[in-house]
Homo-oligomer: A and B are copies of this chain.
Amino acid sequence: MNTKATLKNIASMLGISISTVSRALKDHPDISNETKKKVRELADLMDYEPNAFAVYLRTNESKVIGLIVPEISNYFYHSFVAAVEQEARKKGYSLIILQSANDAAVEEANLKLCKLNRVAGIFVALTSETRDMATFDRIKSSGIPIVFFDKVPEDNHYVKVCLADREVGKLAARTIFDKKKKKVFALFGNPNISITRKRKQGLVDELKKLSPFVEIATATANNTEEAMQATLDTLSNKSKPDLIFCMSDEILTGTIMAINKKGLKIPKDIGVLAVSNGFIPKICNPEITYIETSGAVLGKKAMKTFMEVLEKGITKKMDVIESKLVEGGSI
């Protein structure tokens, strides 16, 4: 390994001072063109890159964003992550990605890690176990902006970017009503998280409002496996529902497996309506009708909000993404 490419080495090789080199490289007006040229040439030759750690240490501004999700390998989140990564790069940021494995303790450890890495900001989707927001509050008050997305806290003194969850529920209700379904089995995720409650409320309330004659049964499942089991149970009843509503891709996956296992045909034997980003619905036959929730769109919005927070020092805000119905052939 040759001499390391540092300001110091460049300076000594050129017989000028470190500060001159530093300024030359950032095109500071104080430096003569001649010197700039010399410096740039040698810097290029040596493949100089400023030491990000030293820069941070001096400027106290890191260009890394922490991103904490319950699980990356999950339907919605990886498209969110992909979008954020892309947007972040455009702004010169990189991403440190952490998974909380739906465990509040791991989530806390991850927060620590973010703090330790002095990230410029943190994006978080809460676990369903998260009760205590104290750590978040501490970090926030230590000056690191936090943007919550998707699984957000209910209090409104945070910066949040999420889906119009209640509207999602309502839209589902209206679809069910329009399609004249009479007996609905609605399957939700973990009841602790706010999006579950909101989607459920939206669905149930709106459905009641639209018609007193639609029967609705609800259940919750924490993962695909449970969703499959719950669906199997329901389908074994003497009086089957005529439509199953699935709150998420995770749930939908389990439901589809169950329906397949039972040998039932969609939509002849049973209808399916899901909330999804569309990937799974589109590989089914017939395609599943779904209410679209795009991780990519949410990701872009989240990054935009983050930049605003950074620039304007906002501490509370709630951005909401609208959803729309995408018709397949499953109802």
Interface set of A (CB-CB < 8 Å, partner B)? 1, 47, 49-54, 56-57, 62, 64, 71-73, 78-79, 81-82, 85-86, 89, 94-99, 101, 112-113, 115-118, 138, 141-143, 253, 256-257, 260, 280, 282-287, 295
- State how many angstroms separate the Cβ of A208 from the closest Cβ of chain B: 33
- State how many angstroms separate the Cβ of A239 from the closest Cβ of chain B: 24
Total identical chains: 2
**What are 15 contact pairs spanning A and B, CB under 8 A?**
A1-B141, A53-B54, A53-B62, A54-B57, A57-B57, A73-B81, A81-B97, A82-B99, A85-B99, A95-B97, A253-B283, A257-B282, A260-B283, A260-B286, A283-B283
User: Given the known A-B contacts A72-B78, A97-B95, A113-B94, are A260 and B280 also in contact in the complex, defined by CB atoms under 8 Å?
Assistant: no
Set of chain B residues within 8 Å of A73, measured between Cβ atoms: 78-79, 81-82, 295
Given contacts A280-B283, A283-B283, 9 further A-B contacts (CB under 8 A): A50-B116, A51-B118, A64-B96, A81-B97, A82-B99, A86-B101, A94-B113, A95-B98, A260-B284
Output the nearest chain B residue to A282 by Cβ-Cβ distance. B257
Contact partner, A95, options B96, B101, B282, B285, Cβ 8 Å: B96
Set of chain B residues within 8 Å of A285, measured between Cβ atoms: 256, 260
Contact partner, A72, options B62, B82, B260, B287, Cβ 8 Å: B82
Asked if B85 and A117 make an inter-chain contact with CB atoms under 8 angstroms apart, the answer reads: no
Set of chain B residues within 8 Å of A51, measured between Cβ atoms: 57, 118
- State how many angstroms separate the Cβ of A108 from the closest Cβ of chain B: 13
A257 to B287, alpha carbons, bound, how many Å? 9
Contact partner, A116, options B49, B143, B257, Cβ 8 Å: B49
- State how many angstroms separate the Cβ of A286 from the closest Cβ of chain B: 8
- State how many angstroms separate the Cβ of A26 from the closest Cβ of chain B: 15
4 tightest A-B CB contacts, nearest first: A260-B285, A53-B53, A73-B82, A78-B78
A96 to B62, alpha carbons, bound, how many Å? 14
- State how many angstroms separate the Cβ of A1 from the closest Cβ of chain B: 7
Set of chain B residues within 8 Å of A118, measured between Cβ atoms: 51-53
- State how many angstroms separate the Cβ of A243 from the closest Cβ of chain B: 19
Output the nearest chain B residue to A101 by Cβ-Cβ distance. B86
Output the nearest chain B residue to A66 by Cβ-Cβ distance. B94
Set of chain B residues within 8 Å of A47, measured between Cβ atoms: 138
Output the nearest chain B residue to A54 by Cβ-Cβ distance. B57
A283 to B190, alpha carbons, bound, how many Å? 22
A257 to B94, alpha carbons, bound, how many Å? 35
Set of chain B residues within 8 Å of A143, measured between Cβ atoms: 1
- State how many angstroms separate the Cβ of A141 from the closest Cβ of chain B: 8
Asked if B85 and A97 make an inter-chain contact with CB atoms under 8 angstroms apart, the answer reads: yes
- State how many angstroms separate the Cβ of A322 from the closest Cβ of chain B: 22
A49 to B260, alpha carbons, bound, how many Å? 52
A219 to B71, alpha carbons, bound, how many Å? 35
Output the nearest chain B residue to A97 by Cβ-Cβ distance. B97
Asked if B72 and A99 make an inter-chain contact with CB atoms under 8 angstroms apart, the answer reads: no
Asked if B72 and A81 make an inter-chain contact with CB atoms under 8 angstroms apart, the answer reads: yes
Asked if A86 and B99 make an inter-chain contact with CB atoms under 8 angstroms apart, the answer reads: yes
A99 to B118, alpha carbons, bound, how many Å? 23
